[in-house]
Chains A and B, each alone.
Chain A
Amino acid sequence: MSDPIATLIHQHHEADALLARVEGALRGDDWPLAQRCFDEAEQSLLGHFELEEQQLFPAFEAATGMRHGPTAVMRDEHATMRDLLDSCRMQLIAADRDGLLAELDTLLVLIQQHNVKEENVLYPMCALRVADLATLLARSGQPA
């Protein structure tokens, strides 16, 4: 596994850990911590989606000619996860603990199955097919 792929996987783990901290904070009724961790998790996830959609997926599509394959599925799932993040944000604003925990539960499950697809299939394919992946990802300001 090359470094840029390890960085992308690290971003997955970082967001997972932050969302788990949101859940933990909510269980301890620590709303300020939940808010802070959710802000960080949201920022981390949206930044990661943007990196993939702006840099990685177009490069993969250009290298393979596959425009309606795995990247299209991943984009759809990003859209669903963005909707779920919005739902979480609404529950956070309403300070509805159970509602937020329920939305987080669905979001986490969706993220995990999405990550498995990316880490098992798409990233290894990108590592094989996309030339100079490290420079490409670094171009968007992400360390690679």
Chain B
Amino acid sequence: MSAAPALAFERAPQPGLVFGCLLPAPWVGVAAGLLLAFGPPDGLPDRFAPLSLSLVHLLALGMLLPVMLGALFQLLPVLAGVPVPLARWLAPGVALCCVGTASALAAGFLQGSALGFRWAGWLGAPLLGLPALAICRAGWRVVAVNASTRMLRHIGIALLLTLLLGGLLASLFGAGLALPLPWLLDWHIAWGLGGWLATLLAGVAATVLPMFWQTPRPPAAAERLLPWLLYIPLALGGLEGAGLLLPWRQMALAGVGLLASLGLFGVLRAARKHDPAWLLWLCALLSWWLVAALGLARDYLPAQWPLGWWLGVLALVGGAVLPVNAMLGKIIPFLVWLHLRRRLPARVRVPPMQSLLRPVWQRAQVASLLLALTALLALPLQPAALALPAGLLFALSQAGLGGLLLSVGWRFIRLQRSLGAGAVGQSEARR
């Protein structure tokens, strides 16, 4: 067990390690957008269309997973005082491994070849299992006192299970076997979206929403819901494999709906609604709420509605890409500011975060992303015609974020040199 947890940025890993996981993400988003724009639209908007499956894995595995692993490398030491074992060795390979595995899967789905699945199942999943194991190990030492630390303590299990089930499915495809059980696929998706994505985002939001947007802190009773509100139904889902049919899907969706409602309640009471990224959190929580509502009402909705596409877009783009964009636009300038402050002498003034990333540019990027989300949701109306503009809009929004973050990184390097040199010059002049 660790000592009492505290926000301790001095325990955070080197910025290069975390940035290496975070900064490639928007460019993978650009690739996903271009794939939608120029890929084969046959079968869209069916969730099992080759392009849909490729895009899902590019986003979930290639774009979102490295960001979330990078965030955990930062949050575990900072929020819980527990460093991730071997983080300095694991972190540099995370983005490469995630993008490689996602690309192998995308190729497998698009070309229908077993080779991509074999690479993903036999090499990618085990390699990605290493950071997952390290996070499980670190989580074991976390003292759970609030929503964020409760999430940190248990989140590694969800990632490990998602990868295990995904690796199993990829291996089955790689061996040329058909999908054995729809239940196995459902369980993989449920652990990926609910156990991993939704739980991680809820735990992170409990700390970052009050910090950056001055929302009220979640009530203590609500904090205790994590992660069991979702983990219990998801664990019950395993019994379906043994033939025991329980309403675990509905229970998990109701849990997601409750978490989204609590989040919405907080976000609507934020003191800093004028911040450009606030809108992204609002739309993200609305997306999760819609996922729960549409998922629960599924049996009562017209069969011709493209629910699979909508649920995927709402969960992955609305529920995950939006808050990840919001966080990247906040946490990277904050970390840069903090590292500059720590590295430079106290008398040297560090420019404020907003001069590193100007709100007017961030607002434009937020608008482009919300436009892309709207276009993606509208795609089922005319899939062949709308795939191109929706894909291009998404690629453009992510290129915008990628460019902004690169400019922050560039300013970090320049400020470090110029302010550091200035500080040295000042101290030499005093001598």
Chain A: residues with CB nearer than 8 A to chain B?
16-17, 20, 23, 27, 70, 73, 79-80, 83, 87, 101-103, 105-106, 108-109, 112-113, 116-117, 120-122, 125
- Check B337 for interface membership: any CB of A closer than 8 A: yes
Query: B346 in the interface, Cβ–Cβ < 8 Å?
Result: yes
Segment from B50-58, B93-101, B208-216 that makes contact with A: B208-216
Distance of A91 from chain B, by nearest CB (Å) = 9
**Residue B207 interfacial (CB < 8 Å):** yes
Within 8 Å by CB of A106, from B9, B145, B352, lies B352
CB-based contact A120/B352 at 8 Å:
no
Give A116 to B209 CA distance when docked, in angstroms.
Answer: 12
Q: 1/0 per residue B188-216: CB within 8 Å of A?
A: 00000000000000000001001110100
What's the least CB distance linking B397 to chain A, in Å?
A: 23
Interface of B is mostly: loop
User: B47: which A residues are within 8 A, CB to CB?
Assistant: none
Alpha-carbon gap, A23 to B359, bound state (A) = 14
7 inter-chain pairs at a CB distance below 8 angstroms, sorted by A residue, are A20-B271, A23-B272, A80-B341, A83-B349, A102-B353, A102-B354, A105-B353
- Complex partner residue of B6 from A70, A83, A103, CB under 8 angstroms: A70
Residues of B within 8 A of A (CB): 4-10, 145-146, 207, 210-212, 214, 271-272, 274-275, 334, 337, 341, 346, 349, 352-355
Most chain A CB atoms below 10 A, which of B7, B8, B210, B349: B7
Q: Could you tell me the distance in whole angstroms from the C-beta of B81 to the nearest C-beta in chain A?
A: 9
Beta-carbon contact of A23 and B349 below 8 Å = no
Taking a contact as CB atoms under 8 Å apart, the answer to whether B214 and A106 are in contact is no
Could you tell me if B353 and A106 are in contact, using CB atoms closer than 8 angstroms? Answer: yes
Hey, which chain B residues are within 8 Å of A112, CB to CB?
210-212, 214
Q: Which of A23, A80, A102, A121 contacts B355 (CB 8 A)?
A: A102
> How far is it, in angstroms, between the C-alpha of A27 and the C-alpha of B145 when the chains are bound?
38
